[in-house]
Amino acid sequence: MRLQAEGVELAYDRAVIAKDLTLTIPDGKVSVLIGPNGSGKSTALRALARLLPPAKGQVILDGKSIQDTPTKEVARLLAILPQVLVAPESISVEDLVWFGRHPHRTSLKVPSAADKEAVEWALTVTRTAELRHQHVDQLSGGQRQRVWIALCLAQGTDLILLDEPTTYLDVAYQLEVLDLLHQLNQEQGKTVAMVLHDFNMAAEYADHVFVMKSGTLITQGPPEDVFTCDIIRDVFGVESKVVPHPVSGKPMCIPLRAGLRAQLSVVTG
Amino acid sequence: MSSATIVAQRVRRTSLARKHPAVLMGSLGVLAVVLSFYSLSVGATDVSMSDVFKAVIGDTSDQAAQIVVQFQLPRVLLAWLVGTALAVSGAVMQGVIRNPLAAPDIIGVTKGAGFAGMLLLLAIPGLPVVAVVPAAFVGGLAAAGLVYLLAYRRGATPVRIALVGIAVSAAFEAGIRFLLVRNPLDVSAALIWLTGSLFGRSMSSVLEILPWVAVLVPLIVVWARKLDVLGLGDDLAAGLGEPVERTRRTLLFFAVALAAAAVAVSGTIGFVGLIAPHMARRVFGGRHLASVPASALFGVLLLLTADMLGRGLAPPLEIPAGLVTAVVGGPYFLYLLVKTGK
Amino acid sequence: MAVSASSVGTVPKPSVDATHKRPKIVTNKQRVTWVALVLLVLLVAGAVWGLSIGSQHIPLTQLPGAIVKADTPGELILQSIRLPRVVLALCVGAALAVAGALMQAVAANPLAAPEIMGVNAGAVFVVVLAITVVPSLSGAPTILLAFGGAAAAGVSVMLLAGSGRGRVSPVRLALAGVTASSLLISLTQVLIIFDENSTDSVLFWLVGGVNFASWHDVRNLLPWLVLGLLGAFAMARPLNLLALGEDMARGLGQNVERTRIIGSALVIVLCGAAVSVAGPVAFIGLIVPHIMRRLVGSSYTVLLPLSALGGGALVLYADILSRYIKPPFEVPAGVVTALLGAPIFVYLARRQKVTTS
């Protein structure tokens, strides 16, 4: 496996978020980190992306400690889409996606054929090519997120990490973005690892799920194994019923409100 | 949202500059040169244009031409160099701090240089202004270094740099006032030196600032894309392979060195470092490859104009360029208010 | 943040905003009493000290007499020079400190202070401009002009910082304030350089001090001071609610806009009046509320009166200290407050919690 965190301790200033955390991102699959607020899922992702140096332990990318690898080299292997994204004022879609080539360009080099190809490909795959001259701030939420993903794709990496890519989007746009990521994984073989807030979305799209709580990895595995009433109750603190999705067959977790919980004891969940 | 029409309008408004930035910049450059020649002829004694040309070519047989070379030429050259230094410094600061209100002044350079200069002037009375230059330069650098150190806590974020910079500037300002108070002999003169002007500067000043501008400005232009990437936010910039802390530190050093050199040589000329990058961005867009050189041009134009106004408004009284820029800064900020206050 | 067991009158802490920690509203009656007592003692001691400094040695037994009449030379000096100076120091300090606390409440910003927001600079500029144009101007018209300058500057800074678009971060506010201040101060310097000849006047308008204090000044300031302080104390409870956050305050029935407008008006009144009689004495509005907050928490019912006391004490002592800088010459107190305040400002700037971006 190319990317993993080994026994890392993660902290901001003096507040320790996670202790002795070991996470291995499976290659070629879609992995999702889920957990309640403060579980450390975003922190873990940032550590994997070299944005947060671990206080103890190390993050390994392609056999080397990621901290020892120069930033530029890491950027050619791994792309990160952070949660807060601010586009420069009145920048066109195409210009923004071009930023994705930054790790491959030195200061004095003019854009190469490889650069142009990568940008074109990124725009095509995300279906944002027809928007290329529009200003990013004019786009819809879903379009804008696709453009940011195009930026990451232009980096030409096989590993893509995303921190809550769907959290502020309307549900239609959420599906748009997740479908795109799924397609990238299936057709291009990209390894996708993301933090999602909605555990049902995670169940739908993930091949592998990491469940975190209070800085610890509670469990991991395919959605079928991970989404059980007990784990949901333990991690999220809600009673729920897990049923198979009527169309996809993936586990669907339905939280139960107070009035319904009594009935649960009659039916085995 | 029918953004088609809005997009079309937006694109049209800026497309003149975006499509032909080189042409527009060239025209600005020409304007600056023309202004320079005009400035060479205006002064306490008016000099005709032909004499100016003679002087520029190197024919100093005429007494008028000699005046031009000795008094006016250094000023104009200085206007070019100081204008460029301050404007580019401001452009870099605004890119690094990610705030359009950042200016070289806020990182403590200006006040630090002023404080150091004053300290030396007061410690050794009668010292020629020229000797103050190295002290002021070092003072400016030291102040900025102090700001960076104080702002550093596992990295110096733009926000903290800005806040600490403002605070440290205030501290040095307090120091300056303290010095003024303890040695009130020539408060007005001290204030004028602090205010900044191109008056009475000789070629030695030009030579003192030239290397800094000649080396650092091209470097910054080469690094233009790094500035753009930093603007995307620390996380994304790191994700795109930019060693954020290191790049930021280096760019800040460039900006500080330029500003310190400018302040050391000409005193604190305010607002050029703030306004010129603004104008550049409005006309040429936010990409630094265009906006940095454009800032330089606007800085030159601003300073040339300020200097000429200072000399020409009430001759033979010389109003320091620094005061003119301060007064001109006002209306521009009202304009900014109207624009951003929406 | 834990709520201390011995505290009285606590308000539950709302969710923490990463960029700006909401103030902890905790009142500990014992502490407050102690602090108040200490401040009062300091004030009295300072007043006594202040009254006894000067080129002439005057025994303080003459003080009671000096208040009513001015028969002996000693009493005359006490009455016409030293006493007004002490009183003015107290008044100006109180005004600026309370203004600072109000400003921090209204702007919801720990770094908001009259000098940082350009309010003082605006007032000074307008007053200097007025005096340059009409040299004999003084008294009520000056103060009213100062209000105008302070208001214009304050509003401009808020606009410049983009207060229309959501919460204004301390950085944006500080940068906007610095920009406006430096502009106004430069303009003021222009006027001073070309007009004022005396060093003392130059420094007065740049630095601020109470060394030229007269009863005339006190009389001009007093009504506005009283108005400002009373108004501020009346606003204490609404300000406490405002500190919970705009939405929360509205939900609790508060008229947020009106609170803000009244608060701002009070700031302008207090600052404008203080600056027009004493010049731009720096940092009082920033330091004193912060120190008081550390000592007694952020409840404005307590913070405002204590800030008034603390501010008065600070300016008083600054004025006293200033006389040791270059004896026997007079040094404006503003120099001392600036030298004291700047390091504290640096400390506060460093402490600002920032988000990861």
**Mind listing the pLDDT tens digit for each residue in C82-99?**
888 999 999 999 999 999
CB contact under 8 A, B327 and C346: no
Q: What is the mean pLDDT of residues C161-186?
A: 76
* Alpha carbons C149 and C280: distance in angstroms, whole number: 13
Q: Which of B2, B7, B228 would best serve as a mutation to test chain A binding (most A beta carbons within 10 A)?
A: B7
Average pLDDT score, chain C: 81
| Whether the Cβ atoms of residue A191 and residue A24 lie closer than 8 Å to each other | no
| Whether the Cβ atoms of residue A74 and residue A65 lie closer than 8 Å to each other | no
CB contact under 8 A, B175 and C339: yes
Q: Which has more pLDDT, C12 or B305?
A: B305
Q: What is the mean pLDDT of residues A189-197?
A: 94
For residue C346, the chain B residues in CB contact (below 8 A) are 150, 164, 167-168, 171
Nearest chain B CA: its distance from A168 CA (Å): 18
Residue C134 has pLDDT above 70, yes or no: yes
Q: Which has more pLDDT, B119 or C267?
A: C267
* Alpha carbons B185 and B118: distance in angstroms, whole number: 13
Cβ neighbourhood burial of A72 (10 Å; 0-12, 13-18, 19+): middle
Q: Which has more pLDDT, C187 or B150?
A: B150
Specify which residues A21 forms β-bridges with: A8
Residues sharing a CB contact under 8 Å with residue B55, sequence separation 6 or more, in sequence order: B40, B64, B65, B66, B68, B69, B73
| Whether the Cβ atoms of residue A231 and residue A219 lie closer than 8 Å to each other | yes
Specify which residues B269 forms β-bridges with: none
Does domain B3-340 bear CATH number 1.10.10.10? no
CB contact under 8 A, A103 and B241: yes
Q: What is the mean pLDDT of residues B274-288?
A: 88
Interface chains of chain A (3 or more CB pairs under 8 Å):
B
* Alpha carbons C259 and C246: distance in angstroms, whole number: 11
pTM of the model: 0.82
pLDDT score at A116: 93
Range of lowest pLDDT (B78-87, B187-196, C140-149, C321-330): B187-196
pLDDT, one tens digit per residue, over A204-247 is 999 999 999 999 999 999 999 999 989 999 999 888 889 999 99
Sign of torsion, CA A96 A98 A103 A109? negative
For residue B238, the chain A residues in CB contact (below 8 A) are 50-51, 71, 80
Facing B180 at nearest CB: one of C156, C203, C354: C203
Q: What is the mean pLDDT of residues B39-52?
A: 68
Structure tokens at C284: 């009082």
Nearest chain B CA: its distance from C268 CA (Å): 20
- Which C positions 105-134 lie with beta carbon below 8 A of chain B? 111, 116
Confidence of residue C13 (pLDDT cuts 50, 70, 90): very low
Facing C345 at nearest CB: one of B167, B187, B322: B167
Phi, psi of A31 (to 5 degrees): -110, 145
* Alpha carbons A81 and A165: distance in angstroms, whole number: 8
* Alpha carbons A16 and A9: distance in angstroms, whole number: 7
| Whether the Cβ atoms of residue C22 and residue C240 lie closer than 8 Å to each other | no
Residue C357 has pLDDT above 60, yes or no: no
Residue C353 has pLDDT above 70, yes or no: no
Look at strands A159-163 and A191-195 and give their pairing: parallel
Average pLDDT score, chain B: 81
For residue C166, the chain B residues in CB contact (below 8 A) are none
Q: What is the mean pLDDT of residues B235-258?
A: 93
For residue B341, the chain C residues in CB contact (below 8 A) are 159-160, 162, 164
Helices (H), chain B: 3-19, 21-41, 49-57, 63-67, 73-97, 109-123, 129-151, 158-182, 187-195, 203-222, 224-230, 234-239, 244-266, 272-284, 288-312, 321-340
Residue C355 has pLDDT above 60, yes or no: no
Interface chains of chain B (3 or more CB pairs under 8 Å):
A, C
pLDDT, one tens digit per residue, over A131-167 is 999 989 889 888 999 999 999 999 999 999 999 999 8
Residue B338 has pLDDT above 70, yes or no: no
Q: Which has more pLDDT, C323 or C327?
A: C323
For residue A103, the chain B residues in CB contact (below 8 A) are 240-241
Phi, psi of C163 (to 5 degrees): -70, -10
Q: Which CATH class is domain C2-351?
A: mainly alpha
Residue C14 has pLDDT above 50, yes or no: no
SS3 of residue C165 by DSSP: coil
pLDDT score at B255: 94
Q: Which has more pLDDT, B277 or C115?
A: B277
pLDDT, one tens digit per residue, over C15-62 is 444 444 555 555 578 888 889 999 999 999 998 888 888 777 777 777
pLDDT score at B2: 40
pLDDT, one tens digit per residue, over A21-77 is 999 999 999 999 999 988 999 999 999 999 999 999 999 999 999 999 999 899 999
Confidence of residue B114 (pLDDT cuts 50, 70, 90): confident
pLDDT score at C135: 75
SS3 of residue C8 by DSSP: strand
Contacts 24+ apart (CB under 8 A), A69-73: A70/B243, A71/B238, A71/B241, A71/B242, A71/B243, A71/B244, A72/A103, A72/B241, A72/B242, A72/B243, A73/B241
Specify which residues A31 forms β-bridges with: A193, A208
pLDDT score at B204: 83
pLDDT score at C5: 38
pLDDT score at B19: 67
CA angle C93, C94, C100 (to 5 degrees): 90
SS3 of residue B192 by DSSP: helix
pLDDT score at B203: 83
pLDDT score at C15: 41
Residue C233: CB atoms within 10 Å: 15
Interface chains of chain C (3 or more CB pairs under 8 Å):
B
Range of lowest pLDDT (A181-190, C81-90, C324-333): C324-333
Facing B241 at nearest CB: one of A13, A74, A138: A74
pLDDT score at B187: 64
What percent of chain B is predicted at pLDDT more than 70?
A: 78
* Alpha carbons C247 and A211: distance in angstroms, whole number: 34
pLDDT, one tens digit per residue, over B292-315 is 999 999 999 999 998 888 887 776
For residue A102, the chain B residues in CB contact (below 8 A) are 225, 229, 240-242
- Which C positions 294-323 lie with beta carbon below 8 A of chain B? none
Confidence of residue A78 (pLDDT cuts 50, 70, 90): very high
Q: What is the mean pLDDT of residues A255-269?
A: 70
pLDDT score at A49: 92
* Alpha carbons B175 and C143: distance in angstroms, whole number: 29
How would you write chain A as a 3-class SS string? CCEEEEEEEEEECCEEEEEEEEEEECCCCEEEEECCCCCCHHHHHHHHCCCCCCCEEEEEECCEEHHHCCHHHHHHHEEEECCCCCCCCCCEHHHHHHHHHHHHCCCCCCCCHHHHHHHHHHHHHCCCHHHCCCEHHHCCHHHHHHHHHHHHHHCCCCEEEEECCCCCCCHHHHHHHHHHHHHHHHHHCCEEEEECCCHHHHHHHCCEEEEEECCEEEEEECHHHHCCHHHHHHHHCCCEEEEECCCCCCEEEEECCHHHHHHHCCCCC
pLDDT, one tens digit per residue, over B125-139 is 766 767 778 888 999
pLDDT score at B311: 80
Q: Which helix (H) or strand (E) holds C241?
A: helix C236-242
Structure tokens at A10: 């993660």
* Alpha carbons A49 and A234: distance in angstroms, whole number: 28
Give residue C119's identity as a one-letter amino acid code.
V
How would you write C270-286 as a 3-class SS string? HHHHHHHHHCCCCCHHH
